[in-house]
Amino acid sequence: SDSILEVRHLKQYFHVNKHLTIKAIDDVSFQIDKGEIFGLVGETGSGKSTTARTIMGIYPPADGEVYFKGQLISDKKIYHKNKKEIQRKMQFIFQDSAAALNPRMTVEKIIAEPLIINHIINEKEELKKKIDSLLVEVGLDTSYKSKYPSELSGGQRQRVAIARSIGMSPDLIIGDEPIASLDISIQAQIVTLFQKLQKKHGFTFLFIAHDLSIIRFISDKVGVMLKGKMMEMAPAKELFENPLHPYTKALLSAVPVPDPIYERNKKILTYDEESIQADG
Ligand code: ADP
């Protein structure tokens, strides 16, 4: 199959002290095919972020393997040999991406930086065109180029972070709670933006969230984590309509998840190009 990401028997332990070891990831395996949106859901502390960080190479796994486009990137040597390419083709958008934008850079510089560093575009006029088109793609007009992050709303800053990532033409985007710090109405806009961009560019998407409705809305396939283990994994429709694992059943009965998602809030979920300038 056309696998973009494969995680095999992944383990990650944190040795807190002599007597306490937290098994943050305890033998987790999953695979995401090209163009697929995989929703990883679980309560706080279930190991979602640690999974994302381990895939990204922030910590080497205690055990198990991570393959990116067939390459064993959890191997230190292989990772370092291909680091630049991996970091370009695997983009990460997290809850605080917006807050992490360099406050002293204009939006234009923020988006241009990785394009220049990675020698994706060297020519000035071409760079300008690229930045303009990326801004439009994320629902911001070109007047935002000269603004600084402090002049933008949370949603607008997240749009800039997304534009910067999309500029790398990633094969995989890992979104770790990428909308969790935004207002509810803005969350819906950003999720819809992700969906629109994914349809257009076809990148593979690992979408991590604790919110079941958002996971149901966006995912093709869903994995449910609890205490470092993968409890259940299935196509989204199957998992939400006919959960097999008792934990998934309990989770779904505790938090009713409407279908179609956000039926009541359709208005805010509809991607409205014109309203975006104003609020998010
Ligand atoms: P989630 O993203 O699902 O909220 P995390 O992956 O952040 O879960 O955390 C999984 C477990 O690992 C939790 O018990 C958390 O306290 C622990 N943990 C995460 N990062 C560290 C760390 N750097 N040091 C010690 N424990 C950690």
pLDDT digits (tens, 9 = 90+) for 116-129: 999 999 899 999 99
What does 47-85 look like in DSSP terms, one character per residue? SHHHHHHHHHTSS--SEEEEEETTEETTSHHHHHHTHHH
DSSP annotation of 265 reads G
25: its two tokens: 């990831």
Question: pLDDT per residue over 152-184, tens digit each?
Answer: 999 999 999 999 999 999 999 999 999 998 988
Mean residue pLDDT of the chain comes to: 90
Ligand 1 closest atom vs CA 225: 3
**Percent of the chain topping pLDDT 90:** 81
Can you tell me whether residue 245 is helix, strand or coil?
coil
Which pLDDT tens digit goes with each residue over 129-142? 999 999 999 999 99
> Distances in Å between the alpha carbon of 175 and those of 39, 78, 277?
10, 24, 23
CA 124 – CA 226 distance, rounded (Å): 49
| CA 50–ligand 1 middle distance (angstroms) | 6
Residues 119, 122: Cα–Cα separation, whole Å: 6
Tell which atom from ligand 1 comes closest to the C-alpha of 210: 3
For residue 1, what pLDDT band results from cuts at 50, 70 and 90?
Answer: low
Q: 61: cis peptide before it, omega within 30°?
A: no
Give residue 91's domain range. Answer: 3-279
How far is ligand 1, taken at its centre, from the CA of residue 209, in Å?
14
Tell me the mean pLDDT in the region 184-188: 88
CATH number (domain holding residue 196): 3.40.50.300
* Most distant CA pair in the chain, distance: 60
Sheet holding 221-226, edge to edge: 90-94, 172-176, 204-209, 37-42, 221-226, 229-235
For atom 7 of ligand 1, the residue with the nearest CA is 49
What angle, rounded to 10 degrees, do the helices at 154-166 and 184-201 form?
10
State the closest ligand 1 atom to the C-alpha of 177, by its place in the atom list counted from 1: 2
Query: Distance between CA atoms of 54 and 39, rounded to whole angstroms?
Result: 17
Is the CB of residue 122 below 6 angstroms from any atom belonging to ligand 1? no
Q: Is 114 in the pocket of ligand 1 (CB under 6 A)?
A: no
Q: In the prediction, which pLDDT does 269 show?
A: 46
Task: Please give the pLDDT value at position 96.
Answer: 80
CB-CB neighbours of 195 under 10 Å = 17
CA dist 54 and 50 (Å) reads: 6
9-25 pLDDT per residue, tens = 999 999 999 999 999 99
Residue among 62, 86, 68 at smallest CA distance from 7: 68
Q: How confident is the model at residue 268 (pLDDT cuts 50, 70, 90)?
A: very low
How does pLDDT run across 37-90, given as a tens digit for each residue?
999 999 999 999 999 999 999 989 999 999 999 999 999 999 999 999 999 999
Question: Residue holding tokens 């806009």?
Answer: 189
- Which residue's CA is the closest to the ligand 1 atom numbered 16? 45
Q: Which residues contact 63 (CB under 8 A, 6 or more apart)?
A: 9, 10, 11
3-state secondary structure of 232: strand
CA distance 262 to 154: 22
How many structural domains comprise the chain?
1
Question: Residue 234 is inside which H or E element, if any?
Answer: strand 229-235
